[in-house]
Structure 1
Amino acid sequence: MNLFAIVQYDQSFNSNEWFILASLVAGYTLILILPKRYPPAYTLLFLFIGINSGIVFDHTISIPPFDFYDVNDSSKFEIYDFLSYIMYGPFGYLFFYLYDYLKLKGYFTFLYIIMWSIIAMFVEGLATYLGVFHYKNGYQFVYSFPFYFYIQSLTLTLFIILMKKAPPNK
């Protein structure tokens, strides 16, 4: 079995590219129109956390030795793969923004993480349906939930620590 064989799923500009472009435009537009809660450096940090969370976890399980899925039209890295990572930025930002806005504590923090893990599953399901993700090597959709729950728990913990140690001047 060749772990580095390139699989081509399609060669057309179709639903997966449109999904990525629409997500990018909608997500970054929403960030621009929301009332500002953070200085620009914090906004960029929260966007980068979302982007890097996607990159780290996608590359942890989507490349050999695991190789559980391919992204977009081919198993090789392409420009829309890069854009799909940038697409994660607004999700990260909104995750922190709403948590801060709602001023959640205790049990509600746990429910918030569960809610966002379900939102992430919905978005992944839609993206999979539209051809952004192609599962392989036994990977199943439901396996993604623990990854979302873990990364959101970890990043929210870091957010809470940051807000206590270096609260932004709002």
Structure 2
Amino acid sequence: MEPTPTINYDFYFNSNEWFIIASLLAGYALIFFLPKRFPLPLSMLFIIIGVNSGIVFDHTISIPPFDFYDVNDSSYFELFDFLSYIQYGPYGYLFFYLHSYLKIKGYFNMLYIVMWSIIAMFTEGIAAYLGVFHYKKGYVFIFSFPFYFYIQTITLVLYLYIMKITKLPEKYPPHQ
């Protein structure tokens, strides 16, 4: 199998890098300033789950054998590709935070997953417009929806399990 040649989309510091920086700063600032709903270890776990979800999603379909899109300025891994993965952390944390805050139960969990899949699509659309994603091989934006739905379903099941087995100290708001 022949290696895929490196594709360069641009060579400048421009909208895709600014989007990642702004998303990182806004997302982590929001986490910092929101009232605390979880102990620090759980908060860190939820951020890591968000980062990991982004990595798993991107590395499932953006590398061979699928290779459906490139991230940022080239098909080669670079610093801003790494930073783009870290920007998924606040999205993961907010996914858990809002679920707890809204006290979602039963069939509303499905609606919550659909809502977050739409938020993910909206964010991806902006990112693609600004040059963070470059689709190839016939991949189109709407193909991402089932991946978001699947990953967020698994993530919510994991969150519900974590909250079921975790006994939170009294100083944190009730989560049930």
Q: 1:3 offset after TM fit, Å?
A: 4.3
Q: Tell me, which stretches of 5 or more residues in structure 2 are unaligned?
A: none
CA separation in 2, counterparts of 1:62 and 1:167?
Answer: 39
CA separation in 1, counterparts of 2:167 and 2:145?
Answer: 31
Within-5 A mapping of 1:1-170: 2-169=2-169, 170=172
Percent identity between the two aligned chains: 68
Secondary structure in structure 1 of the residue aligned to 2:85? helix
What is the TM-score with the length of structure 2 in the denominator?
Answer: 0.94
C-alpha contact (below 8 Å) 1:120/1:148 kept by paired residues: yes
Count how many residue pairs are aligned between Structure 1 and Structure 2: 170
Secondary structure in structure 1 of the residue aligned to 2:70? strand
CA separation in 2, counterparts of 1:123 and 1:109?
Answer: 21
Write the deviation string for residues 26-55 of structure 1: whole angstroms up to 9, x where unpaired.
000000000001111001000000000000
CA separation in 1, counterparts of 2:52 and 2:128?
Answer: 20
* 2:106 maps to amino acid: G
C-alpha contact (below 8 Å) 1:51/1:89 kept by paired residues: yes
* 2:156 maps to amino acid: L
Q: Tell me, which stretches of 5 or more residues in structure 1 are unaligned?
A: none
Secondary structure in structure 2 of the residue aligned to 1:64? coil
Write the deviation string for residues 57-95 of structure 1: whole angstroms up to 9, x where unpaired.
101100001000000000000000000000000000000
| CA RMSD after TM alignment | 1.0
CA separation in 2, counterparts of 1:161 and 1:52?
Answer: 18
C-alpha contact (below 8 Å) 1:3/1:64 kept by paired residues: no
CA separation in 2, counterparts of 1:83 and 1:65?
Answer: 24
C-alpha contact (below 8 Å) 1:51/1:88 kept by paired residues: yes
CA separation in 1, counterparts of 2:121 and 2:13?
Answer: 24
Write the deviation string for residues 138-167 of structure 1: whole angstroms up to 9, x where unpaired.
111011000000010001001001101113
